[in-house]
Chains A and B, each alone.
Chain A
C-alpha cells in the first residue's frame, strides 16, 4: 500500500489512475452517444411522416407498425445508452433523494410509455393526441450523454494544475553511498543520504547544503523568478532546478514529507472545499429536483384542464420538456470547477490557499497588516553606527556588545556579532545572559554588567539616557534601529549610559511595488512592528505606507489586529507563520510568508512559499478572479433554470404562443453544464499582475 501511494505521487501523466478512469468514462459515453445518435435518425424521420415523401402515403396501420418498430429501437437507447440515468435515479430514489438522473429518467420514460400506449390503444386517447414521441426519447438521451462526455473532457482540463505539480517531481537522484556515486530512483532516497547535484539537474528531494554552492531556480515552487544563491547550511527544495554549480546536500525530507508532496496534498484538499457562497446553491439544489417534478405535474394539470386541444398532447409535452430542461448540474458544478482552477492557478505561483472560505474572505479584505522585519524588510540587519559616550573606543564598545550578544538568536544580535567579526575583534562569551522580550538583553561580560536594548529597557533599569537621545533620534530618522548601551564597571553597580549601536535592515526590492499594487487594489496597508515609532515611520515612508503601529510587543500583536477589526475592517495579516501564528489566526485572513519547505502551516489561511510580498498581491488577485468566475457561473445557472423551466412549462404560451420543443430542451440542458465547466476553464487563462510568464 505504501509503495502504490508513492507511485501515485511519482507517475503523473501516464499512470495517473484518475486520468485513466476519466478517459475510459469519456470513451464509453461517446460510444453511447453515437449509438443513440444513429438510432435517432430513423426514429426522427418516422416521427414526422407528413414531411417524408415515402411515409406520407402510408396507411395508418403501416405507420403504426413503423412506430412499433421505433418503440423497439428506442429500447436499447434507453437501456444501454441511457442506462445510468435509470439506475442512478433508482439509487437516489432509494435514498429519498432526486437528482439529474431522476429528471431524465422520468422524462424519457414517461415519453416512451405514453408513445407505446398511443400506438397500441389509440382509441383510448382523445382526438389527435395519440402520437408517438420516440424521437424525444432517442434524441434527448443522445444529447444529454454527449453533454456528459464533453463535461468530463472539460473537467479533465481543470485538474491540470495538480498534474503539473506532480510532473515537477524528479525521477532519479544521485546519491553517495559507501563512498561511490549511484543513480537511484527518487523513491529510494532515504533521510540522511548525501545527494550530489550537477548543473542543469533537478534537485530530487528536500535537504540542506553541505558542500559547494550554486544558484537555483525555485520559481516552480515559490513563484520567485530570480534564481536564489545557496551556500552551505542553506535549505534546498526538491523539484527545483539547479543552474550553474555542483553541490552536495543532506537529504532531510523525502517521499510524502517533501515540500512538493505537501503542496500537492494541500492543493488537493483545498480543491475539494467550497466557499461560503456555494452553500446557498447547495441549499437550493437540495430542493431543486423534487420542485421541478412538482412543477412538471402542475404544468400537466394546467394544460390538461385549461389548455387548447389537443390538450393531452400539450400537457404531456409541457411536462416532459420541463423535466428535461431543468439542469441541477449547472448549479452543482458552478463552484467546484472554478475553485479547482483558482486554487490550482495560485499554487503555480507559490501561493497556497487553504480552502474555499479563505478564498472568499480574501476578496473582502480592505486592510493588510505587514509585520516589518522579515516581511517588508529582508530580516538581515547590518551594523551601521557605533556611538561612544563613555570614553571607551568604538571598537571596545562593539567588542563588549558583541560578546554580550554572543548567545542570542535575535537577528539584531547577528548583525552586531558579524560587525564585530568583520573588524577582527576579540569577542568572548558572556558570563551570564538574559534576554527580555520587547526590551533587550542584560548580560555580564568580563565581570561588567552590560545592558543593551531600547528605551523601555533603560527606563526599567533607571538609566539616564538624556545625553544620547538627540543622536538616537537622528539615526532613527534615517530608518535605523538604535540600541542604547549601558555599562557598569562591575557586576553589581548601576550601569551608566555608555553609547549607541545602530543597525539597519534593508527593505526587500519588491516590497515597494507590491505595496503600491495592494493600494491600487483598494487595500490600506498598515505596518506593524516592535521597533520604535521613528524608525518604523522612516521605513514606512520609504515603501509608501502611511499608517504605522510601532512599539508593539510580541504579545500585543493579536490585540492590535483585534483593534483594527473593531474599527469595522476586514484585516489580512502577513507575517512569519510560526512567531506570528496567534496574530495570523486572529486576522480575517492570515498570510504566512516565506515558509520555504515548512508548507503546512496551520494558522495560515494562505501560505506564501516564497518570501516576496508580491505573493499577497497574487493571492488577492486570483481570489477575486475566482470569485468573479464563481458568481458568473452561479448567475448563469440560476438564470438558465429560472427562465428555462417556466418557458418549458408553457408560461409564454398564453402571451406569445411560444412553446419549447423537448428536443431543443434536451440540447439546452446538455450544453448548459458544459458551458459552466468551459467558463471555469476560462479562468485558467487569468494572469496575475506579477506572474513571470
Chain B
C-alpha cells in the first residue's frame, strides 16, 4: 500500500470512529432546573437546536418552559413532547410558555415536528 493510500484509509477510519463518538456515544451535559415558587422554570433557546437540550426536572412537580424561538425556518415552528402529549406552536422571535407536570420518572424526548431539532427531558 502506498503512503497516500495509507493516509487516506487512516483518515477515513479515524473519521468514522470520530463520528461514532461525537454523535452517538457522547454524553450530553444535563442542566438541572431549580424550583422557583413551586414551579420548575427553564428557558430554552430555539435556534437550529434547543439550548439547553438535556433538562433534568423532578417528577410530580410542575415545569414551566419558556421557549424563545430566534429563527424563522418552518422547521422549528412546533415543539412536541412525545409521551407527555403536549405540544406548542412557537411564533418566531417570541417567547412561548408551555407548562406540564410529568408524573412518572423517565426520559422524554421533545423535538420539532419533523425531528430535526431534538432534546431530552429527564424526569427524576
Contacts and interface: CB of A to CB of B under 8 A. Distances in A.
Contacts of B5: 304-305
B49 A272 contact: no
B118 A297 contact: no
B23 A94 contact: no
B60 interface: no
B87 A294 contact: no
Contacts of A96: 22-23, 26, 28
A272 B87 contact: yes
A304 B9 CA distance: 9
Nearest to A293: B19
B59 interface: no
A332 B116 contact: yes
Interface in B1-55: 5, 8-9, 12-13, 15-16, 19-20, 22-24, 26, 28, 47-51, 53
Contacts of A90: 48
Given A98-B23, A294-B16, A155 B74 contact: yes
Contacts of A333: 114
A328 B47 CA distance: 20
A287 B118 CA distance: 12
A290 B73 contact: no
A305 B8 CA distance: 10
A307 B22 CA distance: 30
A91 B47 contact: yes
B80 interface: yes
B9 A305 contact: yes
A519 interface: no
Nearest to B112: A332
B12 A297 contact: yes
A88 B19 CA distance: 18
Interface string A284-308: 0111011001100110110011000
Contacts of A97: 23, 49, 118
B82 interface: yes
A332 B115 contact: yes
B72 A25 contact: yes
B73 to A, nearest CB: 6
A17 interface: yes
A87 B24 CA distance: 21
B42 to A, nearest CB: 16
A94 B50 CA distance: 10
B118 A274 contact: no
B89 interface: yes
Given A100-B116, A285-B115, A22 B8 contact: no
A95 B49 contact: yes
Interface in B69-101: 72-74, 77-78, 80, 82, 85-89, 91-92
A216 interface: no
Contacts of B15: 297
Given A273-B80, A329-B114, A355 B73 contact: no
A95 B87 contact: no
Interface residues of B, number: 42
Contact of A273 (B8, B50, B87, B111): B87
Interface in A13-64: 17-18, 21-22, 24-25
A91 B92 contact: no
Contacts of B117: 92, 99
Contacts, number: 118
A355 B74 CA distance: 22
Given A92-B49, A336-B114, A17 B20 contact: no
A523 interface: no
Contact of B20 (A21, A152, A269, A290): A290
Residue in B26, B73, B115 with the greatest tally of chain A CB atoms within 10 Å = B115
Interface in B108-124: 109, 111, 113-118
B116 A99 contact: yes
Nearest to A333: B114
A91 B48 contact: yes
Given A282-B115, A331-B115, A95 B53 contact: yes
A103 B101 CA distance: 37
B62 to A, nearest CB: 17
Contacts of A297: 12, 15-16, 19
A279 B82 contact: yes
Given A279-B82, A282-B115, A329-B114, A88 B48 contact: yes
Contacts of B114: 329, 332-333, 336
A278 B113 CA distance: 12
Nearest to B77: A18
Contacts of B82: 273-274, 278-279, 282
Contacts of A84: 73
A88 B73 CA distance: 10
A87 B51 CA distance: 16
Interface in A71-103: 84, 87-88, 90-92, 94-101
Nearest to A302: B12
Nearest to B50: A95
A267 to B, nearest CB: 12
Given A96-B22, A304-B8, A87 B48 contact: yes
Nearest to B4: A126
A95 B82 CA distance: 20
Contacts of B50: 95
A268 interface: yes
Contacts of B89: 18, 268
Given A17-B91, A272-B113, A282-B109, A301 B48 contact: no
A96 B119 CA distance: 11
A301 B8 CA distance: 8
A25 B73 contact: yes
A336 B111 CA distance: 12
A91 B71 CA distance: 12
A286 to B, nearest CB: 7
Contacts of B53: 95
Given A94-B49, A290-B20, A333-B114, A301 B28 contact: no
20 contacts: A21-B92, A25-B72, A92-B49, A95-B49, A96-B23, A96-B26, A97-B23, A99-B116, A155-B74, A268-B87, A272-B113, A273-B87, A282-B109, A285-B115, A301-B13, A304-B5, A304-B8, A329-B116, A332-B113, A336-B114
Given A98-B23, A274-B82, A328-B116, 19 more contacts: A21-B74, A22-B74, A84-B73, A91-B49, A94-B49, A97-B49, A99-B115, A99-B116, A101-B116, A155-B74, A272-B113, A273-B82, A273-B85, A273-B87, A294-B16, A297-B15, A301-B9, A304-B8, A329-B116
- 7 smallest CB-CB distances across A and B, nearest first, come from A91-B48, A272-B87, A332-B115, A332-B114, A95-B49, A290-B23, A99-B116
Interface of B: 5, 8-9, 12-13, 15-16, 19-20, 22-24, 26, 28, 47-51, 53, 72-74, 77-78, 80, 82, 85-89, 91-92, 109, 111, 113-118
